[in-house]
DNA sequence: ACCTTATTTCCAGTAATATAGAAATAGTTA
DNA sequence: TAACTATTTCTATATTACTGGAAATAAGGT
């Protein structure tokens, strides 16, 4: 049950990170662009965010495993981690919802 | 699209509230006891939390609509809001996941 | 009115978060 | 190397969060 609590801690950490409007917008944007991802600059332009603010948010998403960053030349491509997101949703369905939930 | 952003704000607020380990434990407990709910004191005993801390967390859950409180005599019965939780999960599935997501 | 149980409010301290301008670094190309 | 674009790090400020002890309030029973 120590292990189970570690899972809860991780889930809580991820929810917390998504629980900021700006960051949720960033993550939703990454989801929308799909598996090909988008460079930081594009996210910055399309969401009108200051660079330093955006960097902060993206790093936090990466820290909890909800996004990845990979350099492609000059640009840093960001992608949502769909697997992690699905796992997060599954946890909520399994542990924080009624059995008959859908 | 202003309306859409209000929805995102609400979702973010709910995620943030669930994004605290103690609070997530409280919410999960309320989910587990089901629709009949549990008095504050029982939550306090079973999760070993100081009263003032627990009150704080429950109030935050209520504030974002994820839980309810109703007095039954001396006790205050807390219940998870399953409808709200299902709506939250649906948002994540619809807006923050791939189309083919399960 | 008093006593007991249940829960909240008040308060304080400590820590974490969000934000963003300015300076610094990384990579590419000339 | 110089110049250019892309992105991060540094730094600061203001706001908010988490925690829990002690005192206050609520409800019901005697």
CA distance A78 to A56: 13
Q: Quick one: pLDDT at residue B95? A: 95
Q: Inform me whether the pLDDT recorded for A102 exceeds 90.
A: no
Is residue A69's beta carbon less than 7 angstroms from any atom in nucleic acid strand C? no
Give contacts of B 18-57 with A, CB under 8 A: 18-21, 23-25, 27-28, 31, 34-35
DSSP per position, B5-60: HHHHHHHHHHHHHH-SHHHHHHHHHHHHHGGG-EEHHHHHHHHT--HHHHHHHHHH
Judged against a pLDDT cut of 90, whether residue B1 lies above it is answered with no
Averaged confidence pLDDT in chain B: 94
Structure tokens at B33: 């006891």
Question: Would the CA dihedral through B46, B49, B53, B57 be positive or negative?
Answer: negative
- Judge whether residue A2 has pLDDT over 80: no
Residue A99 or B74, more confident: B74
Q: Which pLDDT tens digit goes with each residue over A21-72?
A: 999 999 999 999 999 999 999 999 999 999 999 999 999 999 999 999 999 9
pLDDT, mean of residues B64-89: 97
Q: How confident is the model at residue B4 (pLDDT cuts 50, 70, 90)?
A: low
Alpha-carbon Rg of chain B, whole angstroms? 15
B39 and B51 Cβ atoms separated by less than 8 Å: no
Task: Count the neighbouring beta carbons within 10 Å of the beta carbon of residue B34.
Answer: 13
Contact B101 A93 (CB under 8 A): no
**Residue in A21, A82, A92 closest to B12 by CB:** A21
Please tell me the total number of residues recorded for chain A in this structure.
102
Q: Report chain A residues whose CB lies below 8 A from the CB of B102.
A: 86
| Per-residue pLDDT reduced to its tens digit, B80-101 | 999 999 999 999 999 999 876 5
Tell whether the model's pLDDT for residue B77 goes beyond 60. Answer: yes
Q: How confident is the model at residue A92 (pLDDT cuts 50, 70, 90)?
A: very high
Nearest Cα of chain A lies from the Cα of B92 at a distance, in angstroms, of 7
Whole-angstrom distance, CA of residue B8 vs CA of residue A35: 22
Does residue B5 register a pLDDT over 90? no
Mean predicted confidence (pLDDT) in B28-43: 98
Tell me how far apart the alpha carbons of residues A2 and B31 are, in angstroms, rounded to a whole number.
Answer: 20
Given a contact cutoff of 8 angstroms between Cβ atoms, the answer to whether B80 and B88 are in contact is: no
pLDDT at position A1: 59
* pLDDT tens, residue by residue, B38-64: 999 999 999 999 999 999 999 999 999
Q: Is the pLDDT of residue A3 over 90?
A: no
D28 C1' – B36 CA distance, angstroms?
22
Query: Which among A47, A37, A22 has a CA at the least distance from the CA of A80?
Result: A37
Q: Where are the beta strands (DSSP E) in B1-102?
A: 38-39, 67-72, 75-80
Q: How many CA atoms lie within 13 A of B25 on its CB side?
A: 17
d(CA B79, CA A1) in angstroms, rounded, equals 24
Query: Are A26 and B12 contacting, i.e. CB atoms less than 8 angstroms apart?
Result: no
């Amino acid at each position: 049950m120590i292990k189970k609590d570690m899972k809860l801690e991780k889930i809580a950490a991820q929810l917390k990170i998504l629980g900021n409007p700006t960051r949720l917008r960033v993550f939703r944007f990454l989801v929308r662009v799909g598996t090909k991802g988008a460079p930081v600059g594009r996210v910055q332009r399309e969401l009108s965010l200051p660079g330093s603010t955006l960097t902060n948010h993206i790093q936090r998403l990466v820290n909890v495993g909800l996004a990845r960053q990979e350099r492609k030349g000059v640009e840093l491509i960001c992608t949502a981690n769909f697997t992690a997101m699905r796992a997060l949703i599954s946890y909520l369905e399994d542990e924080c919802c009624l059995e008959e939930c859908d």
